[in-house]
Chain A
Amino acid sequence: MRNSNNKPIQNFILNNLPIFLLVCTVIVFSLFSDKFLQLSNFKNILVQASSNIILATGITFVLITGGVDLSIGSIMFLSGAIISKLICQNHPPILSCALAFVACIICGLLNSIFISKFRILPFIVTLAAMYFWRGTGLWLTETRALNLPDNFTRLSSFNFLGVPLPIIMVFIIVSVCQWILSKTVFGKHLYATGENIDGAQKAGVNTSRIIFTVYLISSVCAFIGSVISLSQIGALSPTFGLNKEFSAIAAAVLGGTSLFGGKGKVFPGTLAGALLIQTIENGLVVCNADPYLYQIAIAAVILFAVLIDCTRQIIAKKQNIRLIRPQDFS
């Protein structure tokens, strides 16, 4: 079999790279500032990252099927636009959110139909959707920023047994999604579809239904992410949700999800990836680093993770020459 047993520690690190990087980052920043290593700070990180974690979770499902969803940032914006517009016109928040939810479902359905039924490349469908929904959102808000009233923003600071609501949402969604991925038939079919869609079809898996569902999941996550983010920021600017799809994809890939499909976990993978990105920002802020360095630091970390992951795959491929009679050769 594989002679990968020589360096167990190295393999453990490589297989759990995102968590390892997260731990390293925490250690590094703790050394630079005592304000970093505090429970309240970690709570902060989790709260700030909550919207991104949920978006990244949704897109993990799409990535596992080998597809991509470039429209979640725009769907987030549309949802935010609907909520803000309606609340500012004094409609009840619940109704506004419900309508925004329906809008997100429609967005997801359109993506799903065109990708799974008409077989158009996900990249193109979601690229078009990205333009389309942001334009729609901008039309709704007339490209103006909107401020949200207090009763909505209080949502994000709502505590349940001392745990802020965003963290509870993250916990629920991450657990449910990871459970779906690892313990249900849908999850196994998802991985099979991502690994080899024709083979899965031949084996009797309903691949159209799987692909149909994942784009719905990602737009629902976009909705939840938009509600949390909106209540945290308290206002909707025309750049709300801009480029969020890219940071969600980066978080998922950092967490071990493969862009080619068939591989990826929400917990610990994507969660660790999103937390890593947020931790770096938080750490830089706490250490009073130059705010302009944040972007460079994030990019450097993602590049570093990519370097390590790809190098590992190259090494694994080299060791992977199918041995004919491994047990009979010295």
Chain B
Amino acid sequence: MIQVSSGNTHILRLITGFLKSGSFIFWITPSLFVFLSIITPGFFSVNNILNILSSSLPLMILCTGQTFVLITGGIDLSIMSIVALTSIVGSKAITLDQGWLCNSDYSVLIGIIIMLLCGAICGFLNGIIVAFIQGPPFIVTLSTMILFSGIAIWSTMSSNIYNLPPAFCQIGSSLGLSLIFTILIIIMANTILQRTPLGKWLYAVGSNIQTSFISGVPIKPILVFTYAFSGFCAACASILLTGKLETGSPVLGERMLLDVIGATVIAGISLYGGRGKITWAIFGVLLFTIIDNSLNLLNFSFFSIMITKGIIIFIAAFLDSMRTKLIKDLS
């Protein structure tokens, strides 16, 4: 037990307030950025920073969707499979090699709409099962992860789709376009979360679902929306990734699931629900991306980066549990 003498209460209150406010990700990420700028040659250059930004954007969109799901106390493991599925659906539609829409003038626009719809529908399926059948999100999205990925692989026989229209690929490859795209989505998500009843309801459902029900919160539509939104975000990320790769691939972004979960968890978004903000997720993604980037610059091998990521996730969780304990002792 910590003895609190009146002289120190002001300082302690400052510290407690600081520890309690959102997430320490807000000072870990910039600190790490500064630290790495110093020790890593080539890190602090305009080119590299733009690189970091550009590679972080798809992950940001994915984490935005995942944040919504995590706030309601669930989890969406199927996002990467939705990315893959929407990638090949979109590619099949707009590919210049006899895609479904190759003769239309608006092929790119329609293709994008198809991808977004497809993502939302996949998410909708997740949402329906979680909300109405009350299936545990972990196992439901685990099985839809296998299902969607299976459908993607089966429908292309494991092969990629090439020759996509340049207009489409611009969105993913051009930093300006992809940045605008990402920012729009993030602003929309953040606005919903902070300024609308829907946002408040999301937090309530994650915090205590029985209370929410009795208080008149429409639980089922909210859960369906949440997973549909996560699928929608997966489709958006797929647009960027497919465009950048200029290829529709049924295994697109296979390794990214861990990064999505790692980034949101490290950002302090609770797996139990009821806590988390989009801004935290963004900083979490930036943290992961700058770690990836700097380790690459330092010529770390692929597996060393994996090991480092593991250690970082772990330290973040350890610090967070210490922080929670410290807050409890101080208050």
| Residues of chain A whose beta carbon lies under 8 Å from any beta carbon of chain B | 68, 114, 118-121, 123-125, 127-139, 143, 246, 249-250, 253, 259-260, 290, 292-296, 298-300, 302-303, 306-307, 310-311, 313-314
Instruction: Check A132–B307 contact: CB distance below 8 A.
Output: yes
Q: List 6 A-B contacts (CB under 8 A).
A: A124-B313, A131-B310, A139-B303, A290-B154, A311-B133, A314-B134
Contacts A135-B303, A250-B146, A310-B135 aside, 9 further interface pairs with beta carbons under 8 A come to A125-B314, A127-B261, A128-B314, A131-B262, A249-B139, A295-B154, A296-B150, A303-B144, A307-B135
Instruction: Check A293–B313 contact: CB distance below 8 A.
Output: no
Task: Type the 1/0 row for B283-310, where 1 means its CB is closer than 8 Å to any CB of A.
Answer: 0000000000000000001111111111
Instruction: Check A135–B307 contact: CB distance below 8 A.
Output: yes
Q: Find the A residue at minimum CB distance from B321.
A: A120
Instruction: Check B301–A139 contact: CB distance below 8 A.
Output: yes
Answer whether A313 and B134 are a contact pair too, CB < 8 Å, given A121-B271, A131-B313, A250-B142: yes
Q: Which 8 A-B pairs have the closest CB atoms?
A: A295-B150, A131-B310, A135-B306, A132-B310, A138-B303, A299-B147, A135-B307, A292-B154
- Which single member of B142, B157, B302, B311 contacts A249 (CB below 8 Å)? B142
- Which single member of B133, B147, B149, B303 contacts A134 (CB below 8 Å)? B303
Scoring B301, B302, B303, B305 by chain A CB atoms within 10 A of each residue's CB, the highest score goes to B303
Instruction: Check B151–A296 contact: CB distance below 8 A.
Output: yes
Number of interface residues of B (CB under 8 A): 42
Task: Type the 1/0 row for B137-169, where 1 means its CB is closer than 8 Å to any CB of A.
Answer: 011101111110111011001100000000000
Q: Find the A residue at minimum CB distance from B78.
A: A299
Give Cα A240 to B129, complex, Å. Answer: 32
B-chain residues with CB within 8 Å of residue A114 when the two chains form the complex: 314, 318
Give Cα A232 to B151, complex, Å. Answer: 29
Instruction: Check B146–A298 contact: CB distance below 8 A.
Output: yes
Give Cα A129 to B258, complex, Å. Answer: 12
Give Cα A242 to B188, complex, Å. Answer: 36
Instruction: Check B317–A128 contact: CB distance below 8 A.
Output: yes
Instruction: Check B313–A128 contact: CB distance below 8 A.
Output: yes
Instruction: Check A295–B311 contact: CB distance below 8 A.
Output: no
- A236 CB, nearest partner CB in chain B, Å: 14
Instruction: Check A120–B318 contact: CB distance below 8 A.
Output: yes
Instruction: Check B303–A136 contact: CB distance below 8 A.
Output: yes
- Which single member of B154, B158, B262, B310 contacts A135 (CB below 8 Å)? B310
Interface of A is mostly: helix
Instruction: Check A307–B133 contact: CB distance below 8 A.
Output: yes
Instruction: Check B309–A299 contact: CB distance below 8 A.
Output: no
Instruction: Check B146–A259 contact: CB distance below 8 A.
Output: no
Q: Is B221 an interface residue (CB 8 A)?
A: no
Answer whether A128 and B311 are a contact pair too, CB < 8 Å, given A253-B139, A295-B154, A296-B154: yes
Q: Find the B residue at minimum CB distance from A309.
A: B135
Instruction: Check A302–B143 contact: CB distance below 8 A.
Output: yes
Answer whether A299 and B313 are a contact pair too, CB < 8 Å, given A131-B306, A307-B135: no
- A135 CB, nearest partner CB in chain B, Å: 3
Q: Find the B residue at minimum CB distance from A136.
A: B307
- B232 CB, nearest partner CB in chain A, Å: 21
B-chain residues with CB within 8 Å of residue A128 when the two chains form the complex: 310-311, 313-314, 317
Instruction: Check A292–B157 contact: CB distance below 8 A.
Output: yes
Instruction: Check B317–A125 contact: CB distance below 8 A.
Output: yes
Answer whether A127 and B306 are a contact pair too, CB < 8 Å, given A296-B154, A306-B143: no
Q: Find the A residue at minimum CB distance from B317.
A: A124
Q: Is B136 an interface residue (CB 8 A)?
A: yes
Q: Is B62 an interface residue (CB 8 A)?
A: no
B-chain residues with CB within 8 Å of residue A314 when the two chains form the complex: 133-134
A-chain residues with CB within 8 Å of residue B146 when the two chains form the complex: 246, 250, 295, 298-299, 302
Instruction: Check B133–A299 contact: CB distance below 8 A.
Output: no
B-chain residues with CB within 8 Å of residue A298 when the two chains form the complex: 146, 150
Instruction: Check A134–B314 contact: CB distance below 8 A.
Output: no
Instruction: Check B303–A132 contact: CB distance below 8 A.
Output: no
- Which single member of B136, B144, B317 contacts A299 (CB below 8 Å)? B144
A-chain residues with CB within 8 Å of residue B150 when the two chains form the complex: 292-296, 298-299
- B128 CB, nearest partner CB in chain A, Å: 11
A-chain residues with CB within 8 Å of residue B149 when the two chains form the complex: 295
Give Cα A139 to B302, complex, Å. Answer: 9
